[in-house]
Amino acid sequence: MTTAKVLITLFLASVLAGLLPANAETVTGKAVYEQHCLSCHQADGGGVPMMQPELWGSRRINGPDTALIDFVLGGSASLPDEERAYSNEMPGFDHLSDAELAAVLSYIRSRFENDAPAIAARDIAARRSEM
Amino acid sequence: MTRHALLAFCALSLLGPVSASAQSRDWSAASGEQDATLGIRVPKGFKATVFADDMGRVRHLAVREDGTVYASLYSKNKDGWLIALTDGDGDGSADEIKEFGSFGGTGLALYKDWLYFSSDTTIGRYKLGEAAVPTGDAEIVVSGFPSQNQHATKPMTFDDQGHMYVTVGAPSNACQERARTPGSPGLSPCPQLELQAGIWRFDANKTGQKHGEDGERYATGIRNGLAMDWNHSANALYFIGHGRDQLQQLFPQYYTAKQSAELPAEEFHRAQKDGNYGWPYSYWDHQRGERMKGPEYGGDGKTPAENPDFIAPLTAFPGHWAPNDLTFYTGDAFPDYFRKGAFIAFHGSWNRAPLPQQGYNVAFIPMNDAGEITGDWSIFADKFKGEEPLASPRAATHRPTGLAVGPDGALYVADDAGGRIWKITYDHR
């Protein structure tokens, strides 16, 4: 193999690695968002009119930790009927790990015009034990 | 034809739009030019005007014999859930616009002297008099549809024997034990099929009917057939359904993001009485030309559905285009090619993310008097999106939602993003 070929191979390998899903040890909020939230809330967090709300400057995201965690664990089934204003369901995400949920909630709290402190895995564990 | 030849033929006819050369003339949007003031592009020889603008979340349309255009609304405007528009001077732009109606949603249709409309749970009607806006109170025709968040609209259409057909959508994506949760299996049998996920037939002329007590299930296994119309020439009901969402997000072991964007197809059917269209157990893969077993029911993206009762579509469109309305061309002002064919308004995708969104157009399927497809579908009007590629539905300028043919043979198209209604005519040039 020529040096050029080795370099190209290495380059392609690194590009491909970037496309693979993150494994549990390197869980990032971005990866969790892309796999579990993006289809509904879209890449820019803008949501879909009538179906899924935008996550921009959201009161729920910037509000109390416990309410945000409970909502994402339980999904929209946990909301009273009169608070439901969209033609879709938000599924509950209690099947994600504490680390994954902490990562994704910290992620949405730091973008889409939101600004609130990160959430730790132990905060998720604490709410889970209440449910 | 042998079974194989037949399969090959079906697969070919499902491949999608044919190049212009196969038809004597290109009647697709690509033959025309986009007009900045209109926002959209229609085929060469056609002309579009903005009939009304900024009307809110306009959904379905109906045009009365005298040319009055009615529109339904997804959410209430200031003075009501319905709009009546008239164009006194005939310049292609409405000059009198009135809102009325005490409830509503997407469903809207004219039947005899009545204007039928629906919220997510109730179908009502107004008696129409001379004036565009009805004066009496609404009568309730059918109530008691289960309240649901997903696929909740209740559009209706009428045959010539006194029946009203109503789509009742599925309250879920794929009837999973846990809604939209990765790996969660499908309920078997799916209890949602009892009162939802199908088309019901009611008495068109009787008030006070209740879903579940009156009416009968006409066809089943339809996730959301809100684009539905009776074909009076073929004497048959047609619909184009919404295929399920999120194959990749729910079953990443079987589907790539790209497959999940393309699959499954949006299926165009002639509804057979008691026909089963396969939801939630299966979906149509237009790339393979085959009905596949859903991953919630043991499928893996490669295993065909076993149940021979599930009906194959007449033709199919790429995934997630979201057919919002279907209407047959009953006029005679358009070229012969369009007579008796089907127009479909595609609201446009959200479920193709992270890939660019698609749909956001009006497609056309050529058909004959007997309701058989005579050629490949093509795009009749496009450029509704406003930007290309379109990353998010929120950024779309227009999203087609409703269609109706006027007494003069013009095609009206509604949009719930810009609140626009276009009138499209053929002007022979």
| Closest residue of chain A to B261, computed from CA coordinates | A39
Q: Which residues contact B56 (CB under 8 A, 6 or more apart)?
A: B73, B74, B75, B77, B416, B419
Cβ separation A89–B181 shorter than 8 A:
no
Higher pLDDT, B114 or B36: B114
pLDDT average, residue stretch A15-32: 60
pLDDT average, residue stretch B160-177: 97
Q: What is the DSSP letter of B185?
A: P
Is residue B108 within 8 A of residue B69, CB to CB? The reply is: no
B185: which 2 tokens? 């299996």
pLDDT at residue B112 tops 90: yes
| Closest residue of chain B to A88, computed from CA coordinates | B150
Cβ separation A89–B391 shorter than 8 A:
no
pLDDT average, residue stretch B290-304: 98
Q: What is the dihedral of CA A70, A76, A80, A85, to 10 degrees?
A: 130
Cβ separation A49–B417 shorter than 8 A:
yes
- Compute the C-alpha angle B381/B385/B391, nearest 5°: 140
How many Å apart are CA A107 and CA A117, to the nearest integer?
10
The pLDDT assigned to A26 comes to 64
The pLDDT assigned to A41 comes to 96
> Where residue B362 sits, what CATH number does that domain have?
2.120.10.30
User: Considering only CB atoms, which chain A residues are within 8 Å of B419?
Assistant: none
User: Considering only CB atoms, which chain B residues are within 8 Å of A47?
Assistant: 394
pLDDT band of B428, cuts 50, 70, 90: confident
Whether A29 contacts chain B with CB within 8 A: no
Domain count for chain B: 1
User: What ipTM does the predicted assembly reach?
Assistant: 0.85
pLDDT average, residue stretch B301-326: 97
pLDDT digits (tens, 9 = 90+) for A69-101: 999 999 998 888 777 789 999 999 999 999 999
B361: which 2 tokens? 């157009």
pLDDT at residue A46 tops 90: yes
pLDDT average, residue stretch A111-126: 96
> pLDDT over 70 for what percent of chain A?
80
pLDDT band of B7, cuts 50, 70, 90: very low
With CA atoms as reference, report the closest residue to B168 among B236, B220, B231, B110.
Answer: B220
* Nearest neighbour of A48 by CB, restricted to B149, B249, B393: B393
For testing contact with chain A, the best of B76, B178, B352, B385 (most A CBs within 10 A): B178
pLDDT at residue A24 tops 70: no
Cβ separation B350–A51 shorter than 8 A:
yes
pTM value? 0.91
pLDDT band of A47, cuts 50, 70, 90: very high
pLDDT band of A1, cuts 50, 70, 90: very low
pLDDT average, residue stretch B210-217: 98
Whether A49 contacts chain B with CB within 8 A: yes
Higher pLDDT, A83 or B209: B209
pLDDT digits (tens, 9 = 90+) for B225-257: 999 999 999 999 999 999 999 999 999 999 999
Backbone angles phi, psi at A11, to 5 degrees: -60, -45
Helix (H) or strand (E) run with residue B283 in it: strand B282-285
Amino acid (1-letter code) at residue A124: I
Number of C-beta neighbours around residue A80 at 10 A: 6
Whether A20 contacts chain B with CB within 8 A: no
How many Å apart are CA A24 and CA B417, to the nearest integer?
40
Domain with B272 in it: 3-426
Cβ separation B182–A95 shorter than 8 A:
yes
pLDDT band of B429, cuts 50, 70, 90: low
Residues 91-130 of A with CB under 8 A from B: 91-92, 95
Q: A23-130: which CATH architecture?
A: Orthogonal Bundle (1.10)
